[in-house]
Chain A
């Protein structure tokens, strides 16, 4: 059995798996809006929140940490960029600036992972088709079909990268510091293989009567739990805006 991939949808019965996709998506937008429009210590408030979400979603922590190595490295670079961005300023201010940038990045990353991990491409399809069903002259299903294919192909691309890497490493590849050549050796087969698999994927979809005009009839229902989660997240966002507006935490005084 292949190892768990955090960028795959994984079926489960957690409260987040059962959460309505449309509300989840709106919460995602709302939190992103708040996250990228706030600064200072308030960002740190989101960290326990997303950790709580990761726990709720039932993601395997060991797999999460193992597969986030590259993203952690990117986070450190973002933090370093934040440190050098704020000039002229004291070292403390620059350190905090880097820390906040890094925290914002990790909060967004973890929230995205939780979203992808708990949403199947089918749910995304139903959500988009549902969103557009009241809008005349726009085929929501065509737009949703596009997203279904893109979203379904994401794991395929990740798998292909893994296969290509293993194929190269098994033949003593990646030796030396030939960054450009090594990148080419990885990217080229990934692109070609992904295109071939895309063609197969399209055949598989069409052979079983999938067309943009066909319907998924059952739209997701909104339950009381969904509404409660939505209210909690909306309140959290409003609170964050409120705190930011009145500047309760003026970290420049530190």
Chain B
């Protein structure tokens, strides 16, 4: 898997770009944490990677092919877990929600049932398969949203603010899930403000500000870098990158 973004610019209006000259590359086995203040363009950039938006200028290549001309493959290979799980749910039962992607890909019914059952087991959501996803708890909804993306076997999974609105138990559960997905060989991009929850597991950190990529390198807790970009510096004894995790 190789995703290349070169000089990407995007704006809904002409000459008013919300993303400006963004260049980076994502390769197999990377765990990227993307941070930045509200409105810096993180979610917008990630929607480009899934083909939901096309750049106004610049190049966006997935495995050497233009994303805008190869959207169906890109959407299968790049999974997007939305910030608000409720907004992601399209079906009326958890089973249908998980089956939605595979059905779009034209899988056989038996294969779909087998995979849903398999992924429901992995994500611990088997008891909820007949329930309405909107009526479950925040942590359960998040797990269902992730499972519904993972069932399509993507190479890269993008998590948009995965810890937002979750309690302690929910954060731990989602953290474990993200790390499991990474350990299975998927590349992962996590958009978050909460560096202390996940940064220790990242192999790379990116920071965006006002539609520009201002930092792309090793995970860092350099105070000036974080404060200049309105990112909260982890408190207490979380002074090193290695200590920035909520997992024991």
Using CB atoms and an 8 Å cutoff, list the residues of chain A in contact with chain B. Answer: 1-2, 8-11, 120-122, 152, 155, 159, 197, 200-201, 203-211, 214-218
Contacts and interface: CB of A to CB of B under 8 A. Distances in A.
Contacts of A152: 90-92
A214 B84 contact: no
Contact of B87 (A11, A197, A215, A217): A197
Nearest to B93: A11
B47 A203 contact: yes
Interface stretch (B130-138, B175-183, B211-219): B130-138
A128 to B, nearest CB: 15
Contacts of B101: 208-209
Contact of B104 (A121, A155, A210): A210
A87 B99 CA distance: 57
Interface residues on B, range: 35 or more
B167 to A, nearest CB: 16
Please classify the interface of chain A as helix (H, G, I), strand (E, B), loop, or mixed, using the class held by over half of its residues. Answer: loop
A211 B105 CA distance: 10
Interface centre among A121, A155, A204, A215 (most CB of B within 10 A): A204
Contacts of A120: 91-93, 96
6 closest A-B pairs by beta carbon, nearest first, are A200-B87, A208-B101, A209-B104, A9-B92, A11-B93, A218-B109
Interface string B89-110: 1111101100011011110110
B225 interface: no
A55 to B, nearest CB: 20
Interface stretch (B22-30, B74-82, B189-197): B74-82
A110 to B, nearest CB: 20
A173 B108 CA distance: 52
A211 B72 CA distance: 9
A205 B90 contact: yes
B130 A217 contact: no
A197 B96 CA distance: 20
A7 B109 CA distance: 28
A11 B152 CA distance: 24
Given A200-B82, A200-B87, A206-B52, A8 B132 contact: yes
Given A8-B132, A200-B84, A203-B52, A208 B149 contact: yes
B2 to A, nearest CB: 20
A204 B109 contact: no
A209 B152 contact: yes
Given A8-B132, A216-B103, A218-B109, A206 B92 contact: no
26 contacts: A2-B134, A8-B92, A8-B132, A9-B92, A11-B95, A121-B92, A122-B91, A122-B92, A152-B92, A155-B92, A155-B134, A159-B134, A200-B82, A201-B90, A204-B89, A204-B90, A205-B90, A206-B51, A207-B82, A208-B75, A209-B72, A209-B76, A210-B90, A216-B103, A217-B109, A218-B109
B50 interface: yes
A141 B7 CA distance: 37
